[in-house]
A = this chain, B = another copy of it.
Amino acid sequence: MPSSPFLVHPIGCIHKQEGQVWVEVDAPFREAMLGLSEFSHIYVFYWLHENDAPQQRAVLQVHPRKNPRNPLTGVFATHAPVRPYLIAMTRCRVISVTEARIYLDAIDARDGSPLIDIKCYIPHDKEQFPVRVPSWVHQNNAEIRMDE
């Protein structure tokens, strides 16, 4: 296993402005968008840059969805936006694709979040049911956010 860290440079930026949500892909990477418009949904990977501080990256356990009634849980068993490596991933519905932009239905990211990857969304032919989740997942649904 390599002992040196991997370097991840942003390849673009997420924008949420005036009721519109889009991903702007930087010029050197736009060729990689070919064919994206044929997908209804994509996974957007971004860096939780606002939490990129040693104190927040040292958090290993949280009360999911910031609700103290939810049991203390390891961040790997959540989607908490504090974690050692600040990779966030959200499935999004594509509205339209231009040369440089992917307009989205919505995304649980802050305006200005650095984009680090995009992958197409392909539904699983064989859904691996039954799916089991802890009870906190079904509580407090009004507070659910994809990034928590």
Chain A residues close to B by CB (< 8 Å): 1-2, 5-11, 13, 25, 29, 31-36, 38-43, 45, 47, 49, 52, 60-61, 71-79, 83-87, 89, 91, 93, 105, 112, 114, 116-125, 128, 130-134, 137, 141
Partner of A134, one of B5, B25, B39, B41: B39
Q: A1-B10, A36-B77, A123-B131 are in contact. List 17 more A-B contacts (CB 8 A).
A: A1-B49, A2-B49, A5-B7, A6-B52, A6-B86, A6-B114, A6-B116, A11-B85, A31-B74, A32-B83, A34-B77, A38-B134, A39-B132, A39-B133, A76-B119, A77-B118, A87-B117
- 15 pairs, CB–CB < 8 Å, chain A vs chain B: A1-B10, A1-B49, A1-B114, A5-B9, A32-B60, A32-B77, A32-B83, A33-B76, A34-B61, A34-B74, A36-B76, A79-B119, A79-B122, A85-B117, A123-B131
Residues of B within 8 A of A120 (CB): 76-79, 133
Residues of B within 8 A of A122 (CB): 79, 133, 137
